[in-house]
Structure 1
Amino acid sequence: MTRKGLFIPALCYALAVLEAASAQLVAADTLASQYSMTTSTSMPFPSATQSNSDTQSFIVSNWGLSRGRIQDGAPDLDFVNDPFPNDATPGASSNPKASGPVLQITYPNGSYSHDTGGAQLYSLWNTSDSSLLSMMVSYEIAFDSGFDWVQGGKLPGLRGGPNPDGCSGGSNVTDGSDCFSTRLMWRKQGEGEIYAYIPTSNGICKDSNIICNSDFGTSIGRGEFSFASGQWNRITLIVQLNNPVNVANGFVSLYYNDVHAISQQNLQLRSSDVVTAGGLYLSTFFGGNDPSWATPNTAHTYLRNFRLWGSSSPSNSTGSKVNAAARLTGLDSSLQSISLCLISVTVVLSTFGLL
């Protein structure tokens, strides 16, 4: 290789190093202040490791669960010793390293989807304020060393609305009238994204940062960061609901290891005032909804330092009024398909003189 051929890769590497070094680190507490989220809470953890049955009891008793239950995967939850005790989470120094047990999630060999492995629970905001319109969650996650990412899987995020079971689980009816969810996903090779169940209003599927999946959910910022296995990673997710509900000015933002990774404006996260920000959606599993997503071996993730901040103020960004005709998603689009089908059948029958 010529000197010029060697120089260009070296220059690119040097620029990448400089860019990483100059990236601004922003602690979650600082972000909360910037977004005027003045109320906060955290998920308590035990002071010692616990058996599975004790882990279940602790979470049910202390985490303010919707309907007072762990929805799925209770046998796959355990408070265990930190598997990476000497690894400090990258990021701002104002976020100290945790001590004590961490929550282990087990994904059994061959599991995929929330009802075959991993766990799913909805931890409601444990404050008297039930009208939060902006919310932020920060937590730390570690994957087994050598974690096999397969095709992808779900990770904790935020959700809201009076329907605690909608906007997930493969539902393709997401019109924003009774719920929203904004989880995370890992994809192949650990690529990260925000994975949302929200209306796809005003042609957002055309945005270069958005993938409206052909099966379920909307991917925001896929590949803008990548998870690392065998060490701790910090996630901070901000959601500001749109207001008024017929204007697409909602906002989501994500920081990975306290460095800004994803922002998306012009979202309609809700279409009704009954939808507010509810709390932590701890939903994690391989998948996907078919065996091609399954983990080939029993795997684990580990979670710690769940913290929430909230505000009664929604997004104050400008946005366009929602074009109802362009928001034929979920039930609306299904009804449209049925209508078109009936029209086609009528035309065919008329052609052959059967009507």
Structure 2
Amino acid sequence: MPALPITADAASYITSKWHTSSIYASEDISFIHDPIDTNSTSVVMKVDYPAGSYAPIGTKNGNNGVKGGAEFFSRPNGKKEYNTGLLSYDVAFDSNFNWVKGGKLPGIYGGKVGPGCSGGEKATGANCFSVRMMWRAKGAGEAYAYIPTSKSLCSEKKVICHGSYGTSFSRGVFNFSVMKWSHIEIYVKTNSGNNMNGILKVWQDDSLVIDQQNIKFRTNESLGVSSLMFSTFFGGGSTSYATPATHRV
């Protein structure tokens, strides 16, 4: 994080320091003093979700929606890809945060950065995979992944498959709260070959909340963990997910 707040053109800092070149809705990002712990001198990232905003699809392909949240990919190790990945961050929500039906939070991306493995673009096992966090109604948490699915996976008790969209893991086993920092850690271990032996683990505030075994992230071992997927917005790809008021995390 920068040493001092940046309230205008945060995109310049991100592109120069965080190994990325393209940012969706960069105008909704700024760096401010910690608003949750008022005794802290730390600088944190603030992301705004203007009223009426939802997923990026709402402003693309001729749609005239409202931009909100932000999205970019960070590849600190260039084009290298790995069999394991660990991502950690802290997140907090403003005092009047309306959860609506849900929204995305950052996660781990595998494969070449592109339009796949989000927004209804399926994971084939050969193109990419992604694992993000989501909040749902009333602040319920889950892991949300674009991965190849199977009847056995979709029949598991804590798994919800959404057809062409992502797969929900362990919805509601943990919760997010307003005006409170939550420490999130996401661990991915990719499967070997074409086997269902991949692992997904998530910790909240140092407590293991998701421990999902027997996952197939890929069908080809040349595909690996490549990027931080900084992706946050309300949605869901329809206006039913849109925030009725301006909020921030």
Letter aligned with residue 162 of structure 1 = K
Counterpart amino acid of 2:17?
N
Given the superposition, is the C-alpha separation of residues 80 and 178 from structure 1 closer, same or farther in structure 2, using an over 3 Å criterion? same
Whole-angstrom distance in 1 between the partners of 2:28 and 2:127 = 29
Deviations 1:15-63 (A, max 9, x none): xxxxxxxxxxxxxxxxxxxxxxxxxxxxxx111111231x110000010
Please tell me whether residue 162 in structure 1 is matched to residue 112 in structure 2.
yes
Equivalent in 84, 92, 113 of residue 36 of structure 2: 84
RMSD between superposed Cα atoms in Å: 1.6
Matched residue, 1:351: none
CA deviation digits over 1:136-163, x for unaligned, max 9?
0110001001210000000001001024
Please tell me the residue identity of whatever aligns with 1:248.
Answer: M
SS at match of 1:272: coil
Asked whether 1:105 is paired with 2:105, we answer: no
Q: What residue is the counterpart of 1:95 in the other structure? A: none
Distance 2:77 2:99 in 1: 36
1:62 equivalent among 6, 10, 17: 17
Classify the secondary structure of the residue corresponding to 1:247. Answer: coil
Corresponding residue SS for 1:59: helix
Spell out, residue by residue over 1:311-346, the C-alpha distance to the aligned partner (whole angstroms, 9 max, x if none).
Answer: xxxxxxxxxxxxxxxxxxxxxxxxxxxxxxxxxxxx
Once the two structures are overlaid, the 10-residue window that deviates more, 158-167 or 133-142, is 158-167
Are the equivalent residues in 1 in contact too, given 2:196–2:214 (CA < 8 A)? yes
2:150 corresponding residue in structure 1: 201
**For residue 175 of structure 2, what is the amino acid of its counterpart?**
S
Normalised to the residue count of structure 2, the TM-score between the two structures is 0.92
Pick the structure with greater CA Rg: 1
Aligned to 1:120: 71
What is the distance in 1 between the residues matched to 2:240 and 2:81?
Answer: 40
- What is the CA-CA distance between 1:129 and the residue it aligns to? 8.2
Task: Report the equivalent of 1:136.
Answer: 86
Matched, 1:229 2:184: no
The counterpart of 2:160, out of the listed 211, 233, 240, is 211
Alignment of 1:1-355 (within 5 A): 45-53=1-9, 55-65=10-20, 68-70=21-23, 72-86=24-38, 99-114=41-56, 115=59, 116-124=67-75, 126-127=76-77, 130-171=80-121, 173-201=122-150, 203-214=152-163, 216-244=165-193, 246-301=194-249
Partner of 1:8: none
3-state secondary structure, aligned to 2:13: helix
**Using the alignment, how far apart are the partners of 1:133 and 1:174 within structure 2?**
17
SS in 1 for 2:3: coil
1:119 positional shift = 0.3
Which residue identity does 1:268 align to in structure 2? K
Partners of 1:165 and 1:129 in 2: how far apart? Answer: 17
The runs of 5 or more residues in structure 2 that have no matched partner are: 60-66
CA distance in 2: counterparts of 1:287 and 1:117, whole angstroms? 11
- Where 1:189 maps in the other structure, the secondary structure is helix
Aligned AA (2:36): F
Measure the CA separation in 2 of the matches of 1:215 and 1:189. 25
Percent of aligned positions that are identical: 40
Instruction: Tell me which residue corresponds to 2:63.
Output: none
Between structures 1 and 2, the one with greater helix share: 1
